Structure 1
Amino acid sequence: MKTVLTNGKKINNMVNITSKSNTLRIAIATATVRVSNLETIEAMQQRKVPKGDVFEFARAAGLLGVKKTSDVIPDCHPLPIEFCSITYQIEGLSIIIMVEVHTIYKTGVEVEAMHGASVTALTIYDMLKPIDKAVEIESIRLLKKSGGKTTLQKDEIIFKAAVVVCSDSISEGETTDRSGKAIVTRLEDFGIETTNYEVIPDDFDLIQKRTKLLASKVQLLIFTGGTGLSPRDVTPDAVLPLLEKQIDGIMETARRYGQERMPYAMLSRGLAGTIGKTLVLTLPGSEKGAIETIDAIFPAVLHLFKVMEGKRH
């Protein structure tokens, strides 16, 4: 949660996750409840605790805890819980609670898993305290989480990129480039060095010449501009005949991502493919459209280079 000042007053805002993509997110959390004697363990196992079946009551409470996390923890986003498992293991005088939560969403479920584990532990504590005054909760911790960009490992390949801005108006000095420079900045976030940056007019032959030259020098070639439907938008038309393998899924993902944010993303004719071992991408000419495309496909798209080297998925 970020704190900003408005008219001298502090206002807390939730973290903005609108730029993120839905991915499978998994979290596993654990909590440990320790009792003081074996009689308490036996009472639980034999379902003789006066307040009822401890395991089932606590499991139901834990499920509610997972689902209601955003209601009690202010900065947690409401999200769909698509799977939740609560299991128990008894080791001596300790009851070990394991909570596993899955979702397909823009943010992780580690807090939901830990909240579920804590509610389960508190319910066990509450149900056992009439027969065991020394029961205590020892620990609540996250064991594992996966999903999202933070779990994608950086590739060992050293990437070099070229960014080419296709625009008549920018090449003639009538307007200034923003999308190309924004792409260069975003690539830096992924450890990718842009060794070539240039602006050229919307010229079919020139775009093809630059594609052939740069594809032999860099691993990643990105064009921005000329992907629309105006008479001078020819970037995809020039690049397509040069591609050795077209990868439709990359731009399908980008257009779907963009369409969720503005209604005209479906009109982009951007394409993706390879020339040799170089990935070629054609992005929209608007700064917003270019950045949204990067957000939609990176860093997952970089896995392509491992695949091209023959490494297993």
Structure 2
Amino acid sequence: MKNVGMKAESYRTAIATGILHAPPHCIELLRTGNTEKGDALKTARIAGILGAKRTDELIPLCHPLPIYRADVEYTLGEAQVEIRGIVETIGPTGVEMEALTAVSLAGLTLYDMLKPHCEPEDLCLDQVKLEKKKGGKSHFSRVLKESLSASVIVLSDTVAAGKKPDTAGQNVMDLLQEANFSNIAYHIIPDDPKQLLALIHDQKKQYPLILTVGGTGLGPKDLTVETIQPLLTREIPGLMEASRNFGQRRTPYAALSRGVAGYIENSLVITLPGSRQGAFESLSAILPALVHLFDVQKNIPHAGGYQ
């Protein structure tokens, strides 16, 4: 089963359709609800909804999801009935299979309830397919349409002294490259506010995105927030609220992060935790928002070709 534990939840919908071909007299039985076994359309609708809710039990590698809406609709023709399944959720993965299962189960139920009234070869369920889906990576992109430069500043006395390798900053670099950021500057400095201020001053006219890694906790040398926050000309509190909410569903320690985000002149500056997992989770949570922000704000002038 695919690991979706690091994917952000989003509102997702899926619509699937299928067609059951049947003789005209069988379609009339559906209209009147007078099959030998009862009202076939109502029964098949319930079967389809139950199928959507139990897809993870029927298809081995599907994830269990909270189903907020599942429904089955019909359009009756002269010798066919179109079945339409609609499923909605808020989750880390989509509900395409749930919608397809709803249509399939509804169609099979109609088949079962009509077969006493015709020959087997007169019934055919086909064209079960996904018509539409919304949400997740198909709707909330995690990749820039046009590449932009960025800067990653790692703050750690021990890493700067060569006493341990930097893993958090490298994780952040990898995520940025996957999101189509390029020409990424990479600096490792001690937990020194003066060095950080100097770097921010030099880089705020060069990079549309600056990420600091480390110094957002409660240790005596965790001063990144105190250094960056007074410089912010327009704070974006929602970014770090999203990061902390995402992280706290994976570790209670995420509540201790004091990270901030906002603009310093035309550069967006975000302060990430210094742990490898904390930095990865925080950036993963807000990456779709960052991509959207940069994709829709191309008109903001910026040095270094950011236009």
With the shorter chain as reference, the TM-score category is over 0.9
SS at match of 1:107: coil
How many positions carry a matched residue from both structures?
297
SS at match of 2:19: strand
State whether structure 2 residue 35 is matched by structure 1 residue 49.
yes
Structure 1: segments with no counterpart, 5+ residues:
1-13
Instruction: Report Cα offsets for 1:57-88 as digits up to 9, x if no partner.
Output: 11011111111111111111111110112110
Structure-2 separation of matches of 1:58 and 1:168: 65
SS at match of 1:285: coil
Structure 1 residue 194, shift from structure 2 partner: 4.1
SS at match of 2:262: strand
Q: After the TM superposition, which of the residue ranges 220-229 and 152-161 deviates more from structure 2?
A: 152-161
Which residue of 2 is the match for residue 121 of structure 1?
A: 107
SS at match of 2:49: helix
Structure 1 residue 307, shift from structure 2 partner: 4.6
Structure 1 residue 157, shift from structure 2 partner: 3.8
- 1:216 aligned partner, one-letter code: K
Which residue of 2 is the match for residue 281 of structure 1?
A: 270
State whether structure 2 residue 6 is matched by structure 1 residue 16.
no
Instruction: Report Cα offsets for 1:146-175 as digits up to 9, x if no partner.
Output: 111332244434311100111112112222
State whether structure 2 residue 100 is matched by structure 1 residue 140.
no
Structure-1 separation of matches of 2:113 and 2:299: 56
- 2:57 aligned partner, one-letter code: D
Structure-1 separation of matches of 2:97 and 2:167: 38
Which residue of 2 is the match for residue 3 of structure 1?
A: none
Structure 2: segments with no counterpart, 5+ residues:
301-307
TM-score, normalised on structure 2?
A: 0.92
Asked if structure 2 preserves the Cα contact closer than 8 Å seen for 1:190 and 1:299, the reply is: no
Asked if structure 1 preserves the Cα contact closer than 8 Å seen for 2:144 and 2:179, the reply is: no
Structure-2 separation of matches of 1:234 and 1:46: 73
- 1:206 aligned partner, one-letter code: Q
Q: After the TM superposition, which of the residue ranges 85-94 and 238-247 deviates more from structure 2?
A: 85-94
Which residue of 2 is the match for residue 240 of structure 1?
A: 229
Asked if structure 1 preserves the Cα contact closer than 8 Å seen for 2:173 and 2:184, the reply is: no
Which residue of 2 is the match for residue 11 of structure 1?
A: none
TM-score, normalised on structure 1?
A: 0.91
Which residue of 2 is the match for residue 32 of structure 1?
A: 19
- 2:123 aligned partner, one-letter code: V
Instruction: Report Cα offsets for 1:238-278 as digits up to 9, x if no partner.
Output: 11111111111100111111111112111111111112332
Structure 1 residue 309, shift from structure 2 partner: 4.6
Instruction: Report Cα offsets for 1:30-57 as digits up to 9, x if no partner.
Output: 1110013x22212221222221111101
- 1:65 aligned partner, one-letter code: G
Alignment counterpart, residue 226 of structure 1, candidates 205, 212, 215: 215
Structure 1 residue 308, shift from structure 2 partner: 3.7
Alignment counterpart, residue 203 of structure 2, candidates 200, 204, 214: 214
- 1:135 aligned partner, one-letter code: L
SS at match of 1:165: strand
Identity %: 39
Instruction: Report Cα offsets for 1:172-216 as digits up to 9, x if no partner.
Output: 222221111111111111111143111111111221111121121
Which residue of 2 is the match for residue 70 of structure 1?
A: 56
Asked if structure 1 preserves the Cα contact closer than 8 Å seen for 2:156 and 2:191, the reply is: yes
Asked if structure 2 preserves the Cα contact closer than 8 Å seen for 1:28 and 1:100, the reply is: yes
Alignment counterpart, residue 189 of structure 2, candidates 176, 196, 200: 200
Which residue of 2 is the match for residue 10 of structure 1?
A: none
- 2:127 aligned partner, one-letter code: S
Asked if structure 1 preserves the Cα contact closer than 8 Å seen for 2:52 and 2:99, the reply is: yes
Structure 1 residue 236, shift from structure 2 partner: 1.1
Which residue of 2 is the match for residue 258 of structure 1?
A: 247
Alignment counterpart, residue 165 of structure 2, candidates 176, 179, 184: 176
- 1:44 aligned partner, one-letter code: L
Alignment counterpart, residue 103 of structure 1, candidates 79, 83, 89: 89
Q: After the TM superposition, which of the residue ranges 72-81 and 120-129 deviates more from structure 2?
A: 72-81
- 1:55 aligned partner, one-letter code: L
Structure 1 residue 301, shift from structure 2 partner: 2.3
- 1:187 aligned partner, one-letter code: L
Structure 1 residue 92, shift from structure 2 partner: 2.9
- 1:285 aligned partner, one-letter code: G
